[in-house]
Amino acid sequence: MRFEDYKPSEEKHYSILNSNGQIITEEDLLSFSEEELLYLYRTMLYTRIVDEKALSYQRQGRMLTYAPNIGQEAAQIGSAYAMEKEDWLVPAFRELGAWLIRGIPLKNIYLYWYGNEWGSYMPEGVKVLPVSVPIASQLQHATGIGMANNIKGENNVVVTYVGDGGTSQGDFHEALNFAAVFKAPVVFIIQNNQYAISVPRKEQTASETLAQKAIAYNMPGVLVDGNDIFAMYSATKEAIDKARKGEGPTLIEAFTYRLGAHTTSDDPTKYREDKEVEEWEKKDPILRFKKYLQSKEILTEEWEKNTQKEIEKEVVYTFEEIEDKSDTSIEDIFNYQYETMPPHLEEQLEQYKSFLEGGK
């Protein structure tokens, strides 16, 4: 793609695949093997099933508060697939598809939402920061890693995510400003799912687009159809390539929709109409990609059915294993907050141990 063809202040979405699974801009469709296409589709299915199971477990009281990703699979998987092995991923808390693409085991993901400290542990060689719940705070970490890469002479790129509501936080603007000034190799991706918790996007910013916020920092900004996995891959790949060449950061607005609740503590029926959700369900990124694969005779109903069964079996087994063996250790809550435990936490931990001994 050419960023210059898409002015960030205009509501012109960059798309390759329309909602019927048909190619709009053939020249922008990068080459994927059939194996890659099925891998991407399988990961989208995996993400959806993991989500649905997590929601069910939480409703049964078997998991803590959970943030669903349903409807945002293409925005996450398409962008993360454009990264190279040594690149850094800096997430917020709704990046399930990106975590799976980058190699975080499902066990770790479920451990986090189960309330176990080891859910934030990243396997060796996986360059992903832990979940960051304070809104937009992770963006400063991303910019810091990008600046450090420049200082150390490393050629790695940082991809980081934030929601539309996060663009109203000071951390967002500080991160973009520093990244632009120091030409940090960072790709900022706004998952614009239309709601900042219960506040619609139009009520929390007066900007025509979120992509236009890039203009103030003199960096490229582009509005992308976030339900189009090909467009998300292409735009992110272009931004990553520019960053790797030393051309600095890019801001991508992934225009998508949160089909579920903000978290399992939220009731979206109180602030949006069912009709709106039904219209977006027709734009489901998985359905769109499925139509494309079927039109190319790459995907069969038998393959999909067998794959779904395989995924469901794995997901259930993973969670039940966690449920049987993964109660949170109070000591872990103290041990992994800091590299060296500060005195006030040492004192609290000793008090806890004394309490246990006194109860015996």
Which residues form the catalytic set?
Answer: 258, 262, 271
DSSP annotation string for 81-96: HTS-TT-EEE--S--H
Q: Give the span between the Cα atoms of 5 and 12, in whole angstroms.
A: 10
Enclosing H/E stretch for 253: strand 250-255
Contact predicate 297/306, CB 8 Å:
no
The Cα-based distances of 145 to 178, 216, 243 in angstroms read 12, 22, 13
Q: Give the span between the Cα atoms of 112 and 106, in whole angstroms.
A: 10
**113 φ/ψ angles, rounded to the nearest 5 degrees:** -75, -15
Strands 199-200 and 195-196, bridge-based pairing: antiparallel
Strands 186-192 and 250-255, bridge-based pairing: parallel
**Of 318, 319, 186, the residue nearest 252 (C-alpha):** 186
Helix (H, G, I), strand (E, B), or coil: what is residue 14?
strand
The Cα-based distances of 68 to 78, 99, 191, 193 in angstroms read 18, 14, 13, 12
DSSP annotation string for 154-169: ----EEEEEEGGGGGS
